[in-house]
Amino acid sequence: MDINYSEQDLAFRDEVREFLVEAWTAEHAAEARVPGQFKPVHVAWEKRLHAKGWVAPGWPVEHGGTGWSPTQSYIFETERAAVGAPDVSPFGLKMVGPVICSFGSEEQKKHFLPRIRNNDDWWCQGYSETGAGSDLASLQTKAVRDGDDYIINGAKIWTTYAQHADWMFCLVRTNSECKPQQGISFILIDMTSPGITVRPIYTIDGEHHLNEVIFDDVRVPVENRIGEENKGWTYAKSLLAHERTAIAGVADSKRHLADIKVLASKEVNAGKAMIDDPAFLQRLSDIEIELMALEYTELRVLDSMAKGNGPGTESSLLKLKGTEIQQRLQELRIDLAGYHGAMVQEDLSTAQLGHSFGDAARRGYMFGRAATIYGGSDEVQKNITAKYVLGL
């Protein structure tokens, strides 16, 4: 794998930088820092990407993908993160979109893919249940066939941004008389369907990211099922590999590392800077070395995907190490914030909230505690690695 930039790559990097200057301004960044603006900020950003033709780089070209090389994908992610522009909301563009591209019917592709690209539909993921999180195959939400419909009963939990969602891609049990993995189907559910109740779950950072979603005799057309009945586990594994690769967040961690270096170099107490503390500097250096190694692993995965392969089991390594590095960077930010990071700054106005480094460090730290759990816990990733990579 050649990671040196060609003249074409350098020209592409200049094009990306020129686009970002116009598409992600200081005003856009200020809007993104205001709590509660997650959806409108992302919708507006993704529509700008769509207008440029860059919103779905991982999709096949025939379905609206960019056809970028691994190096070009790397360049875009690096430059995007460097200016603080957000990644796309993953559920539609990085998760269900590729599944529909690979396994959906022609009718499903024609209907859903343009709407996902243009962000006309906001998606959420219906996987985890009480008692079926890390052991996802134990899920019990049931779909019973009734003519041309399924009738769905059960509940999903930890459903991110379900309160905003127009559609959910959901794993449901369609056969209870076989091995658990062999009785699951993958179905697309309109969130306005009668019988759906969304209950908020407020997390330790004080935000409303998560929800419980209840299904009470919800009718869903059979035509909304992806692929074959009882084959959903196969499609789910494909989706999880894409999800775990995205969760690694290498480009964003590089930006956070650079920000920490700048902040740690500032004099704070009696003319001293945190970066002059040998113990702090050692922690920072260790993270930088590990992040560099992770970046090369990501490049190998991108190169493999460009050759027509899936993300593979390397996605588990990326997710495992990537989220660990994210948490260690969040811990450094808390150390830099000092006692300011321990205070909930309720006296700040909505416009000011999020502008305070201490408040941002605290909220980032609290939210980041879940990073080693969502998308498959550390223990799950280690088991996958042991089985498929080490052959244990």
Residue with tokens 């779950």, as numbered in its chain: 201
Residue 331 tokens, joined: 């811990």
Q: Where are the beta strands (DSSP E) in the chain?
A: 123-126, 142-146, 149-156, 167-173, 184-190, 196-201, 210-221, 225-226, 267-269, 272-273
- Strand, helix or coil for residue 306: helix
**DSSP structure class, residue 174:** S
* Nearest alpha-carbon partner for 312 in 390, 388, 234: 388
Strands 149-156 and 142-146: what pairing? antiparallel
Is 123-232 a CATH 2.40.110.10 domain? yes
Residue with tokens 């025939």, as numbered in its chain: 62
Residue 32 tokens, joined: 């993104």
**DSSP structure class, residue 206:** S
Indicate the fold that domain 248-389 takes in CATH: Butyryl-CoA Dehydrogenase, subunit A; domain 3 (1.20.140)
- Strand, helix or coil for residue 128: coil
3-state secondary structure 335-382: HHHHHHHHCCCCCCCCCCCCCCHHHHHHHHHHHHCCCCCCCCCHHHHH
220 and 187 in contact (C-beta within 8 Å)?
yes
> What is the rounded CA–CA span in Å between residue 103 and residue 80?
30
Residue 283 tokens, joined: 């922690």
Residue 270 tokens, joined: 């009696």
Length of the chain: 392
* Nearest alpha-carbon partner for 94 in 51, 134, 49, 133: 49
Per-residue pLDDT for the chain (392 aa), expressed as one digit of tens each? 556 778 999 999 999 999 999 999 999 988 887 777 888 999 999 999 999 999 999 899 999 999 988 788 889 999 999 999 999 988 999 999 999 999 999 999 999 999 999 999 999 999 999 988 778 889 999 999 999 999 999 999 999 999 999 999 999 999 999 888 899 999 999 999 999 999 999 988 778 889 999 999 999 999 999 999 999 999 987 777 666 666 778 888 998 999 899 888 887 655 688 888 899 999 999 999 999 998 888 877 777 766 666 666 777 888 888 899 999 999 999 888 877 777 665 544 434 433 467 777 888 888 888 888 777 777 877 887 887 777 76
* 31 has catalytic annotation: no
> What is the rounded CA–CA span in Å between residue 247 and residue 208?
20
Residue ranges covered by each domain of the chain: 7-88, 123-232, 248-389
Exposed/middle/buried for residue 123 (C-beta within 10 Å: 0-12, 13-18, 19+) = buried
Residue with tokens 């590990």, as numbered in its chain: 290
Alpha-carbon torsion angle 117, 47, 10, 67, nearest 10: 10
Backbone angles phi, psi at 100, to 5 degrees: -65, -40
Exposed/middle/buried for residue 349 (C-beta within 10 Å: 0-12, 13-18, 19+) = exposed
> What is the rounded CA–CA span in Å between residue 291 and residue 318?
10
Confidence (pTM): 0.82
Q: How many contiguous H segments (helices) and E segments (strands) does the chain have? A: 13, 10
- Out of 129, 243, 295, 298, which one is annotated catalytic? 243
Strands 123-126 and 167-173: what pairing? parallel
